[in-house]
Chains A and B, each alone.
Chain A
């Protein structure tokens, strides 16, 4: 190899190390700070004294509710929109480009703007208040483009030959979509759902003034509740000496995200081996 290329190879390796170092530092520092707090009790108890004592059980329940609401909105609307894109509008048409524009803008919109919108429209105008419902719906708006694009990709990957075969058998459009198209795209759609869950779990800014800060165990979706990510922020910034518990919560959150990552890899591999990087 030419000398210049050898130099470049070395420089690149140094750069990679320079990037990997903070990431490793991040994982180590957070584990280091948080692992003393981690215990079964931490997972099973509700927080006390503004989170300075107790665990995170009620927060996990709130997070679960928020996710459930988010998926209950994002999955049907997202799948419907993806089907509309892949089945109803001709490729390259104005409607397709218009909807594509909407999705691109939504995907680029800062999450704090979804927070503002959720607060004003859901909590105030619709009267949902600071609640898991408001938070979940606001979050669903944010993950919608991700959900739609991945479902659309999965639907478009179904071979067109299947449709001709179905049409030749006189299957209706409804039959084609519900019996053949969606079931064969199901693994890809599931990847989209899991990706959306990951994005929703990681989000904080949308929830700050939609779902609220309340530490209590929620009784219904109309109650206010605090998500894990919001808890990390609040403990780290607003509670003196809360860094340990913030870090412990972060460990739990990262563990959940890694689990999701593993699930996605498991789903992608059998259906399209080698397709994804």
Chain B
């Protein structure tokens, strides 16, 4: 009767969600498997000259990693420090407006970050060390993008610290810096790391902002002031005209991104679970 139909309908919509993921994975693997089998290590060893049938992605893989790692190195400590500061040091009235600022930052479209990078950041770096559009520009914009969510994750982790410890610390007149270093941060580190790993995944997968400020020259990242091209930017740039093996190579880089994302997610879960285990 009605209940049976409803049940089927709900089941169907749940299956649809699962099918989307399954579809993505199957499609990416299905389209690229023969190509990957045929190319093998060439995909890493060669240069990227798609017109000549050379599809070496190593430089762009390195570019993606370089941009994301530097962004993480800039943003993660800042996010943790600011979250701790807002909770334990800042005057109480500042908390709400500051969190509102970070919510605003999280909601700004990545293409707007990219536009800002293009209008302000790239000319600024260019005045310092040309050409401006560079690894550094990409990492700075990305750092700004992942900072708010990393901060909110850290804040949530800090909220889980038992207040008893803080009372004990206050009654013993311990400095808050000392409490933070010896008690609070060691205890919350796994949860924070779990959240930060997710943000690293987001930085690796970001397309638009990086595309707009990195310069998009396919080359090994040497200096932070030189342009780089990331895998994501490459897909966005070349998909519109790629054909044949070139297109399949772009799908292969999409598959790689997907696999790395899943690996990072698994890592994040492990870290998060460890935290729950000992709490």
Residues of chain A having any CB pair with chain B under 8 Å:
2, 4-5, 8-9, 11-13, 15-16, 19-20, 22-23, 25-26, 29-30, 33, 76-81, 83-85, 87-88, 98-99, 102-106, 108-117, 119-121, 141, 144-145, 148, 172-174, 177, 198, 201-205, 208-209, 229-230, 232-233, 236-237, 243, 246-247, 250, 253-254, 257, 261, 277
Contact = CB atoms under 8 A, between A and B. Distances in A.
Nearest to B140: A22
A192 to B, nearest CB: 14
A110 B28 CA distance: 13
B70 to A, nearest CB: 16
B132 interface: no
B115 A121 contact: no
Nearest to B260: A110
Given A8-B85, A99-B18, A81 B98 contact: no
Contacts of B236: 112, 115, 205, 208
4 tightest A-B contacts by CB? A110-B205, A80-B13, A12-B85, A202-B109
Contacts of A103: 17
B177 A5 contact: yes
B16 to A, nearest CB: 5
B250 interface: yes
Given A81-B13, A102-B18, A121-B27, A173 B120 contact: no
B82 A16 contact: yes
B33 interface: no
Contacts, number: 238
A150 B2 CA distance: 26
A260 B3 CA distance: 36
Contacts of A29: 116, 119-120
Given A29-B120, A116-B239, A177-B6, A233 B212 contact: yes
- Using C-beta atoms within 8 Å of the partner chain, give the interface range for chain B: 35 or more
Given A205-B232, A208-B239, 8 more contacts: A15-B81, A23-B104, A78-B13, A112-B205, A116-B251, A119-B239, A172-B2, A204-B208
Interface string B202-216: 101111100110000
B232 A112 contact: yes
Contacts of B73: none
A203 B82 CA distance: 28
17 contacts: A5-B176, A26-B116, A33-B119, A81-B14, A84-B10, A84-B14, A105-B261, A110-B258, A111-B205, A112-B207, A117-B23, A204-B110, A208-B236, A208-B239, A233-B211, A250-B112, A254-B112
Given A16-B82, A116-B251, A88 B7 contact: yes
B189 interface: no
A145 B21 CA distance: 11
A52 to B, nearest CB: 17
A236 B205 contact: no
A277 B89 CA distance: 19
B207 A111 contact: yes
B78 interface: yes
Interface string B20-58: 110110011001000000000000000000000000000
B114 interface: yes
A254 B254 contact: no
A98 B15 CA distance: 11
B129 interface: no
Contacts of B6: 173-174, 177
Contacts of B111: 202, 204, 229-230, 232-233, 250
Nearest to A79: B13
A105 B262 contact: yes
A266 to B, nearest CB: 15
Contact of B90 (A12, A33, A172): A12
Contacts of A33: 119
Interface string B80-116: 0110011001100000001101011101111111111
B144 A113 contact: no
A73 B123 CA distance: 42
Contacts of B173: 2
A13 B115 CA distance: 28
A25 B11 CA distance: 48
B217 interface: no
B212 A237 contact: yes
B118 interface: yes
